[in-house]
Amino acid sequence: MSEHFDAIVVGAGPSGNAAAYTMAKAGLSVLQIDRGEYPGSKNVQGAILYADALERIIPDFREDAPLERHVVEQRIWMLDDRAHTGTHYRSDDFNEARPNRYTILRAQFDKWFSKKVREAGALVITETTVTGLVRNEAGAVIGVQTDREGGPVFARVVVLAEGVNGLVAQRAGLRPELKPNHVALAVKETHFLSEEKVQERFNLAGEDDGVVIEVLGTVTSGMVGTGFLYTNKESISIGVGCLVSDYAETGMAPYELLDRFKRHPSVAPLLRGSEMKEYVAHLIPEGGYNAIPKLTGDGWLIVGDAGQFVNAVHREGSNLAMTTGRMAAEAIIALRKADLPVSEANLKIYRDALAESFVMQDMKKYRHLPATLEKNRDALFGAYPRALSSALQTLFRVDGTAKRDKEKQMLGIVKKSRGSWWAVATDMFKVARAWR
Amino acid sequence: MTAKDKPVRMEERLYQNRYMVDEGRPHVRIHHQAEDSPQLKTLTRICPAGCYALDENGRVQVAADGCMECGTCRIVCQATGEIEWSYPRGGYGILFKFG
Ligand SMILES: Cc1cc2nc3c(=O)[nH]c(=O)nc-3n(C[C@H](O)[C@H](O)[C@H](O)COP(=O)(O)OP(=O)(O)OC[C@H]3O[C@@H](n4cnc5c(N)ncnc54)[C@H](O)[C@@H]3O)c2cc1C
Ligand code: SF4
C-alpha cells in the first residue's frame, strides 16, 4: 500500500462515513480505516437518527437504510423513586412521507452506511487500528501508521473521525486527554419483544411507528445525566448516562443504576417478559462548546465526537457527526479542485462552514449549561424531581383537604426542597441564563 | 430482596455480548504503585464491565476480557499514571451486534 491518497479517514462511524462518502462521490481517492471487525462493531448510540443530516448526504437513504421505526411520539419524563411526571407529544403529522426522526441500531446502520461509502468508490479497510500519524520535516501530517504490516500510508490530509476517545489525535499531541467532567459514561441494554408487544405497550398504530422517552430526575441518583428508552421494531433500547467525574466521585456502579431504572414502577411493565440480548457501554462527549479541541492543522482535521460535537440537551450527536464530516469533506474537495494544500490556513473554509451552520451555533448557545448543571446538580437531579412528584401527588389525591390548603402545601413542598424561595428563584435564573 | 430485585451477575450480563479476545495481549494494564490510588480503587465499582477487582492482598487487578473499550478507566486514572490503555489490535475486542 505505497499508494498516495487524496484523503485518509480514520474511523467509520457517522462522521467518518459522511466524510468518506462525500469525498469519494466527488471523485477523490479515499482510504478509510476502522478498527472494528465491520464498521459499527465498536459503535453505540441510543439511537435516534435525525433524517435531515443524512438526507443532505444520501437523499434517498430511506430506500434501503436499516431503519427501525419513525418517531411519532416524544415523551419527557421526570422520575423520582416511585413516580414519573411526564409530557407526551404525539402528532399524526409525524406520519409523513419523509419522516424526520427514526430509531436505528447503530451496528447495523453503520454497516449499511459503509456499503454506500464503498459503492461511492472509497477503499475501506476494517480490522485495522491506526496507531499514529506520520509527519514531514515541517510538522505537517502526511499519513498514518497502522497495526497492519506494510508500513505507513500517505495522503494529502487525514480526517480524524475516530470518536470520543480520540487516541490518535491525543497521542500525536494534537489535543489533550479528556476531562472526566467533559464525558458521560452511558450503559445500555437491548431488550427483545415481539413487534406486536412493542406496539401494544406504547399504543402504536403501525409497525413503523415509534416512541422515544427521555428521562430526567432520580434515574441518575443525583449525578448529572439522563436516561432514555427508545422503541425499535422488535426491541427496546434502554440506557442511562452520567458524567464520568460524578461516577468517580460517587463510586456508583453504572449497571446498578440501569437495573434500578429497569425496575422503576413506570418502566418495568414496558420491559416485562423481554429478552436482553446485549449490554453495551460507551462515552458521550458532554463538555459542550468549551471542550471543543483544536479542529484543524496542517494536513489534518477533526470531525464528529472526536471534536466533542454533541448537543447533550437535545440528544443530538450523530447528526452533528454527519454534518461536520460532510463539511470537512466539502472543504477538502474545494482545496483539491483548486490544487491548494490542505494547510491549517486553507482549512479556514471548514472552520467558517462550521461557524455559520447550526452546529457551532447550537454548541455556542449551550456553552454555559454543562457548568451550570454540574454546580447545581443536587437541586436539579434530586431535590426538584422529588418536589415535583410530591407536589403533584398532593394535587391529585382527593382526601378532604380544601383546595386552597392543597395549594399552600404544594408551594411549601417546592420551597422546602431548596430551603427558601430565594434559592428556588436563583436556580431558575441560573438555568434560564445558561439556556439562553 | 425479592427474586426480581436480585442483582444480575456480570457474567450473565456480558454473556450475550460478542468478543474476539486477543489471548496474551491485554490492552489494559495496571502499573502498580506503592499503594493503589483512590481513583484506581473506584474502578472496582464504576467500570461498566466489572473488569477491576481486589485480589487477596487487597490490591486492584484488571482482567479486561469483558472490556467494552469505553475509556472510563483511562480518563479517571489519567493523573495517577496507573493505567496503560490502548485499543486492542484491529478486529479484536468487543464486537457489538446492535450497538
Ligand atoms: C448511549 C448513547 C446514546 C446516544 N444517543 C444518540 C441519539 O439518540 N442520537 C444521536 O444523534 N446521537 C446519539 N449519541 C451520540 C452518537 O452516538 C455520536 O455522536 C456518534 O456516534 C458520533 O459519530 P462519530 O463518527 O464521530 O464517532 P463514532 O461513532 O464513535 O465512530 C468512531 C469510529 O472510529 C473508529 N476508530 C476509533 N479509533 C480508531 C483507530 N485508532 N483506528 C481505526 N479506527 C478507529 C471506531 O471503530 C469507530 O467506528 C449517543 C451516544 C451514546 C453513547
Ligand atoms: S475501558 Fe471501560 S469497560 Fe474497559 S476496563 Fe476500562 S472502564 Fe472497564
List, in sequence order, the alpha helices (H) in A189-298: 195-201, 244-250, 254-263, 268-271
Q: Does the distance separating the beta carbons of B39 and A147 come in below 8 Å?
A: no
Ligand number nearest to the C-alpha of A12:
1
**Is B10's Cβ below 8 Å from some Cβ in A?**
yes
CB A104 within 8 A of CB A13: no
Neighbours of B33 (CB within 10 A): 11
Distances (CA, A) of B74 to A177, A283, A288, B47, B87: 9, 12, 21, 10, 11
Instruction: Report the distance separating Cα A360 and Cα A319, nearest Å.
Output: 13
Q: Which residues line ligand 1 (CB under 6 A)?
A: A 10-16, 33-36, 39, 42-48, 50, 129-130, 161-163, 167-168, 186, 188, 239, 241, 282, 284, 304-306, 310, 315-319, 321; B 87
DSSP assignment letter at A27: T
Residue A183: list chain B partners with CB under 8 A: 71, 75
Is residue A277 packed enough to be buried (19+ CB in 10 Å), middle (13-18) or exposed (0-12)?
middle
**Exposure on the CB side of residue A41, measured as CA atoms within 13 A:** 19
Instruction: Report the distance separating Cα B66 and Cα B20, nearest Å.
Output: 10
Q: pLDDT tens digits for A396-427?
A: 999 999 999 999 999 999 999 998 998 888 88
Per-residue pLDDT of chain A (436 residues; tens, 9 = 90+): 457 999 999 999 999 999 999 999 999 999 999 999 999 999 999 999 999 999 999 999 999 999 999 999 999 999 999 999 999 999 999 999 999 999 999 999 999 999 999 999 999 999 999 999 999 999 999 999 999 988 899 999 999 999 999 999 999 999 999 999 999 999 999 999 999 999 999 999 988 999 999 999 999 999 999 999 999 999 999 999 999 999 999 999 999 999 999 999 999 999 999 999 999 999 999 999 999 999 999 999 999 999 999 999 899 999 999 999 999 999 999 999 999 999 999 999 999 999 999 999 999 999 999 988 888 888 888 889 999 999 999 999 999 999 999 999 999 999 999 989 988 888 888 888 888 7
Instruction: Dump strand ranges (E) for chain B.
Output: 18-20, 28-30, 52-54, 60-62, 83-85, 93-95
A49-82 per-residue burial string, b: 16 or more CB within 10 A, e: under 16: bbbebbeebbeebbeebbbbbbbbbbbbbbbbee
- Ligand 1 atom with least separation from CA of A282: 53
Interface of B with A in 56-75 (CB under 8 A): 68-72, 74-75
Distances (CA, A) of A84 to A79, A132, A259: 4, 48, 17
Amino acid sitting at position A25: K
Set of cell numbers at residue A372: 451550570
Domain locations in chain A as residue ranges:
4-68+104-176+293-365, 181-285, 370-434
Q: Which residues line ligand 2 (CB under 6 A)?
A: A 281; B 28, 47-49, 51, 64, 67-73
Q: pLDDT tens digits for A56-115?
A: 999 999 999 999 999 999 999 999 999 999 999 999 999 999 999 999 999 999 999 999
- Ligand 1 atom with least separation from CA of A50: 11
Q: How many helices (H) and strands (E) does chain A have?
A: 16, 17
Considering the segment(s) B27-87 as one domain, its CATH architecture is: 2-Layer Sandwich (3.30)
Instruction: Report the distance separating Cα A125 and Cα A109, nearest Å.
Output: 18
Set of cell numbers at residue A139: 510538522
Q: Per the CATH hierarchy, to which homologous superfamily does domain A4-68+104-176+293-365 belong?
A: FAD/NAD(P)-binding domain (3.50.50.60)
- Selecting from B16, B49, B91 the residue whose C-beta is nearest the C-beta of A127 gives B91
Amino acid sitting at position A59: P
* H-helix or E-strand spanning residue A240: strand A235-243
Task: Out of B67, B75, B86, give the residue to mutate to test ligand 2, the one with the largest number of ligand atoms within 8 Å of its CB.
Answer: B67
For domain A181-285, the CATH class is: alpha beta
DSSP assignment letter at A398: -
Instruction: Report the distance separating Cα A88 and Cα A73, nearest Å.
Output: 7
